[in-house]
């Protein structure tokens, strides 16, 4: 009745007669599930965004249930439209001392912006987070590093909205506010610090990789990709398009294996930060060909440039203002930002919610436009 191997197993393993039955049951169950998937289809419906010509496999699939689930931080956003400026209303720079940014904002809207920044950055500490516990007369003083940093962050936000429109508003008006990164926290999540070398037993190139870290996206890829490409303006490249190129890879103006591995680490990071795959930006037939990429490739390229400027012009220069507990654990460097600091795993921060519409004060370095 039973196969010979089954009878043989029972004779040789009289105390383990259920082993073969369990194996056969597991295999049979797997075959049944596979058959049902083929016959009835994927039980969790997916939707695909076509990023290139059909038939080339250029699409980004996502589960519909995930697409329907909103970013929970959207619930933290509040409608807070600006007040129509009154004729003759004094400006913030005329009323308060030491207003170095937002001086051209009418007093009422200036206070509205200050209250919003408190909600976005320090909801528990309140105004004291930047101004201290002293009376209102002391609010003009720069005694706390948090106030000096906040002033520079306002300038950075205005710069994003004014000069990086091609990335920030690539598809529609979205804009950037403090909420885009902070989400109600003093320090935004998904910041990063320098951390190489990651292995002490080796030196040189080997000390940058083969250890699972957050910067390497928990792979054995190099852990210095963010530092190389988003801080030091390193050349992003995988290989040379010519064969038998004379010279030494990585030294004679063409990328070698080390640059390729760093590039893979960066691309891994970008994909995870936006919740997409490689085909969101690249053509599956020719990853290297800039003439065959998707429109999102240009948007992402601008984003890389924006992050490079953010780190070098705004974040790194603040290093000497921070207390020791705000600095990096390995090199005592300033906290830096990257794609995930804003995107948090979504193609657009806060899923493309227009966060700037109520905040013309943060949309320009000049006098805000209230539509009058």
Q: Are 341 and 260 within 8 A, CB to CB?
A: no
Residue 63 lies in a domain: no
- Give the pLDDT confidence of 152-189 residue by residue, as tens digits: 999 999 999 999 999 999 989 999 999 999 999 999 99
Q: Are 67 and 49 within 8 A, CB to CB?
A: no
Residue 310 lies in a domain: no
- Cα gap 58→54, rounded to integer Å: 7
Q: How many CB atoms lie within 10 A of CB 101?
A: 19
Residue 31 lies in a domain: yes
Per-residue DSSP letter, 50:
E
Q: What confidence score (pLDDT) does residue 164 get?
A: 97
Decide which of 102 and 15 is more confident.
102
Number of domains in the chain: 1
Residue 24 lies in a domain: yes
Residue 10 lies in a domain: yes
Residue 34 lies in a domain: yes
- Give the pLDDT confidence of 28-40 residue by residue, as tens digits: 888 888 887 777 7
Residue 47 bridge partners (DSSP): 62
Cis before residue 364, ω within 30 degrees of 0? Answer: no
Degrees, nearest 5: CA angle 313-288-346: 55
Q: Which two tokens stand for residue 185?
A: 């926290």
Q: What confidence score (pLDDT) does residue 68 get?
A: 67
pLDDT band of residue 41 (cuts 50, 70, 90) is low
pLDDT above 90 as % of the chain: 57
* Sign for the pseudo-dihedral over CA of 139, 143, 148, 150: negative
Q: Which two tokens stand for residue 98?
A: 């030491």
- The candidate with the shortest Cα–Cα distance to 81, out of 370, 366, 372, is 370
Q: Are 49 and 66 within 8 A, CB to CB?
A: no
- Give the pLDDT confidence of 116-136 residue by residue, as tens digits: 999 999 999 999 999 999 898
Q: What confidence score (pLDDT) does residue 7 get?
A: 77
Examine the pLDDT at 287 and tell me if it is beyond 70: yes
Degrees, nearest 5: CA angle 281-250-272: 30
Cis before residue 303, ω within 30 degrees of 0? Answer: no
Please name the helix (run of DSSP H) or strand (run of DSSP E) that holds residue 59, with its range, or none. strand 59-63
Residue 275 lies in a domain: no
Furthest-apart CA pair in the chain: how many Å?
Answer: 101
- Give the pLDDT confidence of 217-245 residue by residue, as tens digits: 888 899 999 999 999 999 888 877 777 77
Q: What confidence score (pLDDT) does residue 42 get?
A: 65
Q: What is the mean pLDDT of residues 83-112?
A: 94
Mean per-residue pLDDT of the chain:
88
Q: Are 363 and 161 within 8 A, CB to CB?
A: yes
Q: Which pairing describes strands 46-50 and 59-63: parallel, antiparallel, or unpaired?
A: antiparallel
**Residues sharing a CB contact under 8 Å with residue 171, sequence separation 6 or more, in sequence order:** 348, 352
Give the domain range for residue 26: 4-43
- Give the pLDDT confidence of 42-70 residue by residue, as tens digits: 667 776 677 776 666 677 777 666 666 78
Q: What is the mean pLDDT of residues 348-361?
A: 95
- Cα gap 327→74, rounded to integer Å: 29
Question: Ramachandran region of residue 199, left (φ > 0), alpha (ψ -120 to 50) or beta?
Answer: beta
Examine the pLDDT at 216 and tell me if it is beyond 90: no
Degrees, nearest 5: CA angle 328-330-335: 20
For the chain, the first-to-last Cα distance in angstroms comes to 91
Kindly report the pTM of this predicted structure. Answer: 0.83
Residue 14 lies in a domain: yes
């Amino acid at each position: 009745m039973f196969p010979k191997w089954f009878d043989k197993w029972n004779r040789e393993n009289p105390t383990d007669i259920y082993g073969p039955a369990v194996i056969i049951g597991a295999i049979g169950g797997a075959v049944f599930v596979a058959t049902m998937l083929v016959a009835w289809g994927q039980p969790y419906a997916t939707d695909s965004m076509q990023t290139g010509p059909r038939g080339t496999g250029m699409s980004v699939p996502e589960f519909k249930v995930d697409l329907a689930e909103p970013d929970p931080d959207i619930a933290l956003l509040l409608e807070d439209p600006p007040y129509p400026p009154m004729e003759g209303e004094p400006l913030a720079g005329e009323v308060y001392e030491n207003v170095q940014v937002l001086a051209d904002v009418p007093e009422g809207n200036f206070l509205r912006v200050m209250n919003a920044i408190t909600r976005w950055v320090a909801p528990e500490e309140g105004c004291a987070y930047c101004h201290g516990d002293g009376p209102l007369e002391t609010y003009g003083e720069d005694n706390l590093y948090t106030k000096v940093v906040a002033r520079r962050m306002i300038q950075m936000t205005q710069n994003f909205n004014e000069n990086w429109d091609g990335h920030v508003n690539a598809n529609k008006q979205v804009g950037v506010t403090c909420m885009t990164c902070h989400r109600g926290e003093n320090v935004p999540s998904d910041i990063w610090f320098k951390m190489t070398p990651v292995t002490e037993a080796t030196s040189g190139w080997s000390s940058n990789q083969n250890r699972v870290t957050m910067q390497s996206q928990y792979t054995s890829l190099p852990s210095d990709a963010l530092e190389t490409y988003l801080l030091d303006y390193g050349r992003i490249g995988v290989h040379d398009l010519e064969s038998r190129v004379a010279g030494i890879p990585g030294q004679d103006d063409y990328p070698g294996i080390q640059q390729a591995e760093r590039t893979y680490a960066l691309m891994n990071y970008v994909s995870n930060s936006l919740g997409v795959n490689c085909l969101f930006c690249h053509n599956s037939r020719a990853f290297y060909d800039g003439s065959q990429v998707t429109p999102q490739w240009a948007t992402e390229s601008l984003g890389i440039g924006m992050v490079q400027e953010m780190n070098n012009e705004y974040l790194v220069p603040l290093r000497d203002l921070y207390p020791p507990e705000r600095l990096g654990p390995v090199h005592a460097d300033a906290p830096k930002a990257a794609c995930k600091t804003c995107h948090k795993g979504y193609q657009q921060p806060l899923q493309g919610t227009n966060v700037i519409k109520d905040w013309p004060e943060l949309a320009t370095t000049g006098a805000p436009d209230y539509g009058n």
